[in-house]
Structure 1
């Protein structure tokens, strides 16, 4: 599993999003309170935003966020109206390397996934590849279920929520062909103008996900609340969320 978060609103310094709050995403890398599995998220971290040209920009590192010497300089230097972040706890068998570190970007989208698909390499990976257009399939660089989910999202059409819904419908149909497979499927995706997210799972309880509709003047979606402000609300399982600036 991982911890994920996203912000959309007035320009926000990276440090205010990443590590300034009392229970920030960075703190959740070593002090997560609602993890369904694992204890720390020490297998890399990353953050995505949109550059001045309107295209996604991603910073990723395979070190845990607390060990990355670039965090302070990045946090003080970057300010953006949209952030998508991830601190990673790698699923056993999926390598801790740059290609497997989130967030992912492509086709103008930024994507983060908290969860896993059980026995992905032996069950759904071939099905996903067979579903993908060659132009999308050839852009997959790693071997995580998360990157394959992102490829499926990019394959779909419609609004962000429609693309998320179509992706999960496919995945659920394929999972149903196998006995007792489990999947955790919390996802955040953005095109730079809006954020879409879902809290979902298959054959197991969904991971935690919260939303705050006025956090420092903007929206935040996060695996765990950043602070004790009463504005944080748990997202209902199997609920899709769309946020627009």
Structure 2
């Protein structure tokens, strides 16, 4: 399990998005309220944004966010109109290293996944790899189900929500052949112009996911609300959410 969040709106300091609220993403790394498994997210963290040239950029570290000495300098100086963040609790068997740390970026997209596919290496990994075009498959650097999901999303066509829907349909189709498995499939993807997300699961309850469409002048999708504002609403399971400009 992990905790994820994404923001789109007026330029916002990373600190405002990351750790300036009562129940910020940074706080959720050690004080999450709605985790389905694990107790802390101490296996790394990362944040993604779009640079002035329009290309995605990511900062990722395998340390817990509270132990990374770079956080303060980044948080008080970087200001962007879009952020995607992740604090990680690694799935057993999937290593705590840079290649496995989210968010992931590629083909102009930034992606984060909250969840896991049970027994991924022994069940769906080979099938997913066979589905991927060589140009996308060869860009996979780690061994997480999350990075494979991102590769599958990148291969789809259409709007961001359509890409998520098509990728999710394939994964569900494969999971049905292993009907004893569980999968948690909350995903967020952006192209720098809009953000799409889905709250989804297979054979179990979907992880928490909330939306606030008027948070500090912008809109946020997050695993848990950042504060007690009444504008937070739970995303409906198996429905797609899109945040526009």
* TM-score bracket relative to the smaller structure: over 0.9
Q: How does 1:173-212 map to 2 (within 5 A)?
A: 173-212=173-212
What RMSD, in angstroms, separates the aligned Cα atoms of the two structures? 0.3
TM-score normalized by the length of structure 2: 1.00
TM-score normalized by the length of structure 1: 1.00
**Offset from partner CA, 1:102-126 (integer Å, 9 cap, x none):** 0000000000000000000000000
* Residue 179 (structure 1) shift: 3.0
- Determine if the alignment matches structure 1 residue 163 to structure 2 residue 159: no
The separation in 2 between residues aligned to 1:63 and 1:90, in whole angstroms, is 12
Task: In structure 2, list runs of 5 or more residues that go unmatched.
Answer: none
**Offset from partner CA, 1:61-116 (integer Å, 9 cap, x none):** 00000000000000011000000000000000000000000000000000000000
The separation in 2 between residues aligned to 1:151 and 1:178, in whole angstroms, is 21
The separation in 1 between residues aligned to 2:158 and 2:185, in whole angstroms, is 20
SS of residue in 1 equivalent to 2:54? coil
The separation in 2 between residues aligned to 1:71 and 1:15, in whole angstroms, is 9
**Offset from partner CA, 1:39-63 (integer Å, 9 cap, x none):** 0000000000000000000000000
Structure 1 stretches (4+) deviating beyond 3 angstroms? none
Q: How does 1:74-89 map to 2 (within 5 A)?
A: 74-89=74-89
The separation in 2 between residues aligned to 1:204 and 1:218, in whole angstroms, is 32
Counterpart position of 2:134:
134
- Determine if the alignment matches structure 1 residue 100 to structure 2 residue 70: no
The separation in 2 between residues aligned to 1:179 and 1:75, in whole angstroms, is 43
The separation in 2 between residues aligned to 1:169 and 1:234, in whole angstroms, is 22
Q: How does 1:216-231 map to 2 (within 5 A)?
A: 216-231=216-231
* Residue 3 (structure 1) shift: 0.1
